[in-house]
Structure 1
């Protein structure tokens, strides 16, 4: 017999801090990338993204007593003209299913709206069902396939769009 969640208990938003990445964050971000992906972004790619005026890297952190904040996840996105393009969303494996990706995507989309963007786009692995469900819950819809987009694994990407 499965136990149902008690909906009478109020569930508040997670207490995460979201801020822009700085060069000093590179070691922690590289560690997260290596934990989250088989083929992580390189330090050179991340460094390049930090230098582009149209690119933003947001970090999701959780405060801890008597230590530095803990890096839980990140998002890398571009705002070009009236479009938000999400390049990368990562959550540390041990912190998945806590709302980290949703929190950072909410912030990405809020920044797009505040800049008067009209749409957001992203690609997601066909096999990444949790991400597909998250993006659909945020209002994204599938509009196409990029065959063999993830070349190392030979996996297709689903192209998704959200109209603001």
Structure 2
């Protein structure tokens, strides 16, 4: 006995993305610097971030979400950022940081995914980055995203004399 064919059901609506993404504006600098200082013993300077904002090949991308503000008015909260270069067919990740209160929520993964998607659309076929040898959580994230170790840069982080692991991903 054959079962009757069920009519097509409308697809369930997609869940909204947990974060929104946008390029950094100069007005965001103070918040980005807070996140940078909370995340690194030797943070980038505000001057360095300002310089990255004006290069054609450089992007500082923010992960944001809306939060309830005063009088019930939603306000945008910056949860993290990624700095990357898109040069020819290569994405190079220079810096990524997540706000202390937003850690363990997938912000870093979402930023890495968004940067890779934008790079693919821009013609990139390869992604590279350097990561501190001691940064086990970042290394685990990058491996989970498909990055593989391809080399070591001795004393790359000169302030601590720490090596960098060079990682690569085929986009």
1:6-49 Cα shifts (integer Å, max 9, x gaps) = xxxxxx78611111001111111111111111111101100100
- Return the match for 1:81 from 88, 105, 109: 88
Q: Does 1:32 align with 2:15?
A: no
Q: Secondary structure at the match of 1:159?
A: strand
5 Å-filtered alignment, 1:17-96, equals 17-66=20-69, 68-96=75-103
Q: Which residue of 1 aligns with 2:169?
A: 162
1:43-92 Cα shifts (integer Å, max 9, x gaps) = 11001000100000001112101253221110000000000000001011
- Return the match for 2:152 from 145, 149, 153: 145
8 Å contact from structure 1 (residues 14, 99) kept in 2: no
Moved over 6 A (4+): none
TM-score (norm 2): 0.86
Structure 1: where are the runs of 5+ without partners? 1-11
8 Å contact from structure 2 (residues 67, 76) kept in 1: yes
Q: Residues 117 and 147 of structure 1: is their aligned pair in 2 closer, same or farther, counting only changes over 3 Å? A: same
Distance of 2:55 and 2:122 partners within structure 1? 17
Structure 2: where are the runs of 5+ without partners? 1-14
TM-score (norm 1): 0.89
Higher Cα Rg: structure 1 or 2?
2
Q: Secondary structure at the match of 2:96?
A: strand
Q: Residues 29 and 162 of structure 1: is their aligned pair in 2 closer, same or farther, counting only changes over 3 Å? A: same
- The alignment yields a C-alpha RMSD, in angstroms, of 1.3
Q: Which residue of 2 aligns with 1:120?
A: 127
Q: How many residues align?
A: 153
